[in-house]
A = this chain, B = another copy of it.
Amino acid sequence: MIVSAPGKRHPADTKVTDLLIAYAQRRLNEGEAESEKQAVIDRFVEIMEGLAFPAQLSREIVAALEESLAAAPVDQPERFVDAVKASGEDTCAKLVAAYLRQLGEQAEYVNPREAGLYVTDEAGNAQVLPEAYDRLQSLGQRQGIVVFPGFFGYTPDGVLVTFSRGGSDITGSILAAAVKADLYENFTDVDSVYAVNPNLIANPKEIRVVTYREMRELAYSGFTVFHEEALLPAFRAGIPVCIKNTNNPAAPGTKIVSGRETKDAPVAGIASDKGFCSIYVSKYLMNREIGFGRRLLQILEEEGISYEHTPSGIDNISVILRERFFDEETESRVIKRIMDELHVDEVSVERNLALVMIVGEGMRRSVGVCARATTALANARVNLEMINQGSSEVSMIFGVKADDADRAVLALYQEFFTAQNACPQPAAIR
């Protein structure tokens, strides 16, 4: 069992991790942060009171927390922040192990250092080291319930380093892979992964089974119930993942697996995201110039710009990227470099684009999915700025104007997930 730090009790609440960050920052800036520290302690005390912990046990857990906060190296700010943040998960793991023992279970807290969860020394963005898997494997042989804090590991030299935010999912996936688990249940706060973002369409279809690849593509839209780095260890080890609702554990949840039956449902879901732009470049006889595309991408790389897609014609290529990487200053600099270094005929930028994608393992074996999708979009008067489908893929990506994106998602949802010929219900768009 891998535990996170306590989350929000109500929408206006603050997560314990955010309380700890506030503590760490004030402590670094002002030398003391007693009230922030007390806020963290109060939360744990409240939980333990709610669970009717004996006073002595409660005091021990609070003392251990205060000790680890005091031991954090304030002279090394990044390591200090990581150590403080990690104490939320660490304390919670101790608390849960103690509670399980109160209930009569055989349960023990295990520290990531003792268990060998070795990571790289990148503060706030640790990556698991390959040797960690061998060391962690023996956890599977322990008797009873192992309660393990998520979110952090240790360098081989013993420095505490956290994963990126939300990293308890990463710990869970690593441990599931290390012990070759039959299943990795990930408890979050939704009943299911949905076929479309529920902020766009009310009460969308729940997804029961989805493949790793489909899940990854659906997560592209920013609509994530699961840390995207977290799927990797489970994916590589072939461990099925089940997303469950902590507040409704009886719900079946969504299972993420290697392969699924796609006969009746070529499309698993629809994802969309706004905030894209495209750089269009044309040059007569471009396709005879070996290295043109590489040099264009090299300019972007040298400018530190990540890109998404590069649809191309014979003599032209477009680069689709997120607008946040491309402010006006960057735009003028990049356009000048493209003109000067690649001697192109034309270069232009289009902003306010959205990407809408349909995702499904069954698509590439199913004649006509694209026809259904583009017909639905045409009927909704959505013009296609870009279409991108690869040669062995689980997704089909449409570039549309940002203003058309929600209408496009609705049209595709109706085509693939509601009864045929249902009337469009724009009211369903929130």
Q: Which residues of A contact B (CB under 8 A)?
A: 213, 216-217, 220, 228-229, 231-232, 235-236, 278, 280, 284-285, 287-288, 290-291, 293-294, 297-298, 300-301, 304-318, 320, 348, 350, 353, 364-365, 367-368, 370-371, 374-375, 377-378, 381-397, 399
Query: Which chain B residues border A280 with CB–CB below 8 Å?
Result: 390-392
Interchain CB contact under 8 A, B399 and A313: no
Interchain CB contact under 8 A, A318 and B367: no
Contact of A297 among B294, B383, B387 (CB under 8 A): B294
Query: Which chain B residues border A213 with CB–CB below 8 Å?
Result: 315
Interchain CB contact under 8 A, A381 and B367: yes
Which of A285, A317, A392 has its CB near the most chain B CB atoms (within 10 A)?
A392
Q: How far is the CA of A397 from the CA of B390 in the complex (A)?
A: 12
5 closest A-B pairs (Cβ-Cβ)? A368-B378, A294-B297, A371-B374, A371-B378, A311-B390
Interchain CB contact under 8 A, A395 and B313: yes
Q: How far is the CA of A6 from the CA of B294 in the complex (A)?
A: 43
Q: How far is the CA of A35 from the CA of B313 in the complex (A)?
A: 48
How far apart are A365's CB and chain B's nearest CB, in angstroms? 8
Query: Which chain B residues border A390 with CB–CB below 8 Å?
Result: 280, 311-313, 316-318, 386
Query: Which chain B residues border A235 with CB–CB below 8 Å?
Result: 284
Q: How far is the CA of A316 from the CA of B395 in the complex (A)?
A: 10
Interchain CB contact under 8 A, A393 and B316: yes
The residue in chain B whose Cβ has the minimal distance to the Cβ of A320 is B391
Interchain CB contact under 8 A, A394 and B313: yes
Q: How far is the CA of A428 from the CA of B159 in the complex (A)?
A: 74
Which of A290, A314, A375, A397 has its CB near the most chain B CB atoms (within 10 A)?
A314
Query: Which chain B residues border A367 with CB–CB below 8 Å?
Result: 378, 381-383
Interchain CB contact under 8 A, B216 and A314: yes
9 pairs, A vs B, C-beta closer than 8 Å: A232-B284, A235-B284, A287-B308, A290-B305, A291-B297, A294-B297, A311-B311, A388-B388, A388-B389
